[in-house]
Structure 1
Amino acid sequence: MNLLDLGPDPRTETLRRLQALLVQRFGRIERAAAQWRRPEWVLVQGVIGARTKSEVSNAATDRLLKRYGSFEAVAQAPLEELQAELATQTYPNVAAERLKASLTALVERRGAVDLAHLAKMDTLAAMQWLEQLPGIGRKIAAGVMNASTLDRRAIVLDSHHTRILQRMGLVPPKATTDKAFAAIMPAMPDEWTGADFDEHHLLMKKLGQTWCRPAAPQCAACAAQSLCKTGLARTG
């Protein structure tokens, strides 16, 4: 029996239009420098970065490498020492515990802090492999696959990005990160590369930090207002 062809997903064109509006408002965003795109570096930055600005987590990740010389040495460092090194993070104790656990598990599995094997894996399978490590959820796994030199088509969903998608009506209103990822991936434009996915996420993050904030969103001024169910309802 043939399945009914419902045609293209209308959300895809919405995402294309949204991207154009965000670029017009914020300008293009350059990808991170080469030293910040190693998969292992992206993993560490993600693990320690909860509720912390990216530039702060970037500096903390570089600081760890400078002090210890390798991520294997970071895995062996005393927990109290790591907590002191991560004092700049919003939750330094939690960041240190998760980092030590994830790096230790990675060394046990791979013999080193080495994610080179992911390049040969399907994107979803690689993400599921990463998610078996302590402290690694869908956001970090997608970040490792997309924002690194692996350059895969996997959308990173932080709290800002997910909130905007929910308010726009593009994913279910109470979707978890995993469910939001599963809901929006089929709608992502086929022509978008991994770099486009990365830029889209960073632009959505800017939008969430400016107009589409958790409380009192400024819908009238928002670049996405014309495409947003919540924005149209609030300003109509």
Structure 2
Amino acid sequence: MSNLTGSHSNEPHTANIAGRLNWLRAGVLGANDGIVSVAATVVGVAGVTNTPTPILVAGTAALVGGAVSMALGEYVSVSSQRDSQRALVEMERRELAEDPGAELAELTGLYLAKGLSDATAQQVALELTEHDALAAHLSAELNIDEADEASPWQAAYASAAAFTIGAILPLIAILLPPTAWRIPVTFAAVLLALALTGTLSAAIGGSSKTTSAVRLVIGGALALAATYGIGSLLGASGVI
């Protein structure tokens, strides 16, 4: 029996597959931000003092502040995106109610521009309009699916959770080992984690895994070296 939908059993023909990949990629990048920012903070403090308490306090503050900042940023960003999408939907709904003939001609023109013949474009536009005029125009004109609306709260929670998961690693790496091993263990753990997140991010996006991993490892190493160096200089100078 032929497959009338044109899909294959081994292909992910879900309507929101791109959205899910974007969410996954955002989660990986959020975890990466947590790793780098908190690692840089605790390594910088460790350059000044070996006492665990200041390191724990600074790392925890960086974790909480970063998670809240990430959540707030995602909430505002997704809320703005959602509001813009709703405004476009309402504008299209109003135009369809006020002048359906002009909207049908516009839809026909869009399919003509895609390479369909005049007769086929008219037939496609007419059938889609009869089925769901609003959905047809949102898809063809704006590449919008009215049902595919992101949740600001979900985005905020996901971003904060990803950041927190990433931030826990450098806290554990710098607090558990003996004093002499704190910095080497933290550097190794953070750079390994960055290599893994870079590889995963590239796998999701379809780019070079090696390039992505090396880029993140180099950037993370520079951040750790810079903050540790600044902390050591401040500690040695007696300023702190």
TM-score class, shorter: under 0.3
Larger RCO (alpha carbons 8 Å, 6+ apart):
2
Structure 2 length-normalised TM: 0.24
Indicate the structure (1 or 2) with the bigger Cα radius of gyration: 2
